[in-house]
Amino acid sequence: MPTSKDIARLAGVSQTTVSRVLLGKPNVREETRQKVLSVLDGTGYVANEQARAMRTRRTGTIGVVTGRITNPFYPELIDALGTAITGRGLRMTLWASDADSGERAAMEAMRGRLVDGVVFTAATKGSPPLAAALRANLPAVLIIRSLDGARCDQITSDNLTGGALAAEHFLARGRRDVAVIGGDDGVSTSRERRAGFLDRLREEGVEVPPEYVIDTDFSHDSAKSAARALFSEAGGPRALFCVNDVVAFGVLDAARERGVAIPRDAVVIGYDDVKMASWDLFDLTTLSQPVEQIAELGVAKLLSRLDDPTRPFEHHRFQPELRIRGSAP
Amino acid sequence: MPTSKDIARLAGVSQTTVSRVLLGKPNVREETRQKVLSVLDGTGYVANEQARAMRTRRTGTIGVVTGRITNPFYPELIDALGTAITGRGLRMTLWASDADSGERAAMEAMRGRLVDGVVFTAATKGSPPLAAALRANLPAVLIIRSLDGARCDQITSDNLTGGALAAEHFLARGRRDVAVIGGDDGVSTSRERRAGFLDRLREEGVEVPPEYVIDTDFSHDSAKSAARALFSEAGGPRALFCVNDVVAFGVLDAARERGVAIPRDAVVIGYDDVKMASWDLFDLTTLSQPVEQIAELGVAKLLSRLDDPTRPFEHHRFQPELRIRGSAP
DNA sequence: GTGAAAGCGCTAACAT
DNA sequence: ATGTTAGCGCTTTCAC
């Protein structure tokens, strides 16, 4: 594998000149440039990015930390982030794991200069490595999930409004037998979606009893068993707002198992509008958040911070939109 | 951000000794080691991996190339690869894109010494960058999809057997009104699954007419419209083998739309056994391939090749297992 | 057991 | 417009 020194020797110029040609610097005579380019062409030379990174202090790699990919929302997000990152000629290093091991690894990678910055998508209140990264002022951005007072840019859906829209949809159809399923107050999305939903209901005089504000993790199976309990209760709630689509899928599965017809016997709203939500078998009414835009803006903000670390931190919230489908017409 | 030189100065030793301690070399006096370690602890020093990689010629990063993540099988595979890679203290750089842009980028990254090797999961017959990578003897491994005569290790499911198992399941239930949906002969998985299925049927005297061997891409929507056409045909096939689960989901969706009851009016078998396949709404009979094992072995083979580039190439095939569920009991 | 010195392959400052 | 030189932060001989 040839080095720029080899190219220089073959072209009869200094190694510096080769570097100049490679970087497209202006101060090279056209004739010299051509000579170098032709040698370059012949050898199929590719610059050693490691060595380059060592001087420029830019690796051209962006880290991405997500939760476990069991939620189909994450693949779509990763896809969008991948597009935003590779579209800029950069690379994406991915950590997709439970717990905070991904955050820990990402922080190490930043400090070890293996990535220029990190996009965190699964921020949780009590994550020590994330807190440490932000405290150390390492270049990071939070998308999808936010953290109050985090020292970095944040891009999310306006989850409070999203929850309120779900509430309004139920109210407009005269439903008052509502419940919220899924949630963890350490996670901004579910906390805010829940709060927006409950607050809007309260404004209209509907108070949701605490036993119908159901904590479950974000998995299909937990949601399913929670809904199963709800459905076996005779006078229980039948207008269910789920904090995300996977939770909603679990609820739909429980409904099928229990012989609860959707939307006749119960109505369901999700959040995220993953691709599957529009499949006939689910046909899920849900709130959509613009994944591509969130990913794109997140990457853009991260890169702009690398250039200007002093820019004040921003929190951009995209408006969610209610997609009305068969599960809650 | 301190360097090993800073640590050396603070500890009153040479930079070399710091390096020795960091790498756990034996020839350091215990007393010296402790001194260095205590300074290390105090500063929160993290070695610059770039510089390290430049000397060792190992980056500690593995590239992964997948197709677009619209197929839920890929997230599960990425998850498994991530576990196999990060579990070894390495990092994963991911390219998930249509076409061969990911392969091209991965090849560049290998040549630019940004990754030690690459796991290709979406090999297609006519991919120039992949062909080039293999020709150049760059360290790579093919998993899930194979390529005849590729100069690298390959780990796949035994797709021929998988297809045969599906055929046997239909035959055992007396079904002869079969069709195969989804396929592209440039992709080993669908080519082999199809061939295994058709060959086994032929052995039992069942010849599938060519119009019931349906080429569609691997998307839910294409499969859905193909199945829609099939279901509107009166005497058409009603025992459908799909080359993967997403295709099967599309078929199930079409069935629902057309009022075709599963499994009463039609039976469906998929391939992959993605998590969703066991959800009540799908309840899909399918062939499972051991994703974790494939990922684990793929990474292991790749790493072992880095240590011994001369080892002969192997193709390991895992046996698929039929998971019988409601869609084809 | 420890340190000095060389060098991985680049880029950038400085000379000419 | 081009070349010389000095590192980036490590690991690895090679001396002692």
A136 → chain B, closest CA residue:
B1
- Check pLDDT > 80 for residue A205: yes
Mean pLDDT of B163-182: 97
The CATH number assigned to the domain holding A197 equals 3.40.50.2300
Q: How far is the CA of B4 from the C1' of C6 (A)?
A: 17
Q: Which nucleotide is nearest to A55 (CA to C1')?
A: D8
Confirm whether B327 is domain-assigned: no
pLDDT in the model for residue B184: 86
Percentage of residues of chain A with pLDDT beyond 90: 89
- Check pLDDT > 90 for residue A70: no
Q: Chain B closest CA to A62's CA: distance in Å? A: 9
* Element at B322 (helix H, strand E): strand B321-323
Helices (H), strands (E): how many in chain B? 12, 12
Contact B281 A249 (CB under 8 A): yes
Residue type, B220: H
Residues B295, B238 share a domain:
no
> What's the domain count of chain B?
3
Residues A263, A200 share a domain:
yes
A258 → chain B, closest CA residue:
B280
Residues B278, B165 share a domain:
yes
pLDDT in the model for residue A226: 95
Confirm whether B126 is domain-assigned: yes
pLDDT in the model for residue B194: 97
Domain range for A151: 61-157+290-318
Residues B243, B177 share a domain:
yes
Residues A166, A98 share a domain:
no
- Domain end marker among A37, A56, A75: A56
Cite the DSSP H helix spans in B173-290. Answer: 188-203, 220-232, 245-258
Mean pLDDT of A29-50: 93
Strand partners for A212:
none
- Check pLDDT > 80 for residue B99: no
- Check pLDDT > 80 for residue A99: no
Residues B145, B264 share a domain:
no
pLDDT in the model for residue A192: 97
pLDDT in the model for residue B285: 98
Residues B112, B30 share a domain:
no
- Check pLDDT > 80 for residue A177: yes
Q: Which of B22, B57, B110, B114 to mutate to test the interface with A (most CBs of A within 10 A)?
A: B114
Report how far residue A239's alpha carbon sits from residue A242's, in angstroms, rounded to the nearest whole number.
10
Q: Provide the 10 A C-beta neighbour count for residue B8.
A: 18
pLDDT in the model for residue A255: 97
Q: Which residues of A touch B51 (CB under 8 A)?
A: 54
Answer whether any strand D atom is within 7 A of the Cβ of A13: yes
Strand partners for B239:
B178, B267
Q: Which residues of A touch B92 (CB under 8 A)?
A: 93-95
Tokens (6 digits) for A142: 């939070």
Residues B268, B228 share a domain:
yes
Which of B48, B59, B96 is the closest to A79 by Cβ? B96
Residues B270, B164 share a domain:
yes
Q: How far is the CA of A68 from the C1' of D10 (A)?
A: 34
Q: Which residues of B touch A78 (CB under 8 A)?
A: 69, 75, 78, 94, 96
The CATH number assigned to the domain holding A28 equals 1.10.260.40
Average pLDDT taken over every residue of chain A: 95
Nearest to A22 by CA among A8, A1, A12: A8
Residues A237, A181 share a domain:
yes
Residues A281, A170 share a domain:
yes
pLDDT in the model for residue B276: 95
pLDDT in the model for residue B105: 94
* Element at B21 (helix H, strand E): helix B15-23
B64 in helix, strand or coil? strand
Tokens (6 digits) for B92: 């994963």
Percentage of residues of chain A with pLDDT beyond 70: 100
Radius of gyration of chain A (CA): 25
Q: Which residues of B touch A279 (CB under 8 A)?
A: 220, 249, 253
Confirm whether A323 is domain-assigned: no
Q: How far is the CA of A12 from the C1' of C15 (A)?
A: 20
Confirm whether B326 is domain-assigned: no
Residues 96-155 of A with CB under 8 A from B: 96-97, 101-102, 105, 108-109, 111-114
For the stretch B198-236, pLDDT in tens is: 999 999 999 999 999 999 988 999 999 999 999 999 889
Mean pLDDT of B244-254: 97
pLDDT in the model for residue A323: 98
- Positions of strand D less than 7 angstroms from a protein CB: 1-5, 7-13
Mean pLDDT of A59-63: 96
Nearest to A217 by CA among A194, A183, A244: A183
pTM to 2 decimal places: 0.95
Residues A119, A87 share a domain:
yes
Contact B2, B24 (CB under 8 A): no
B140 in helix, strand or coil? strand
Protein-nucleic contacts, chain B 1-30 to strand D, CB < 7 Å: 3-5, 15-16, 19-20, 22-23
Confidence tier at A8 by pLDDT (50, 70, 90): very high
A72 in helix, strand or coil? coil
- Does A50 touch chain B if contact means CB atoms closer than 8 Å? yes
- Check pLDDT > 90 for residue A68: no
For the stretch A221-269, pLDDT in tens is: 999 999 999 999 988 999 999 999 999 999 999 999 999 999 999 999 9
Confirm whether A325 is domain-assigned: no
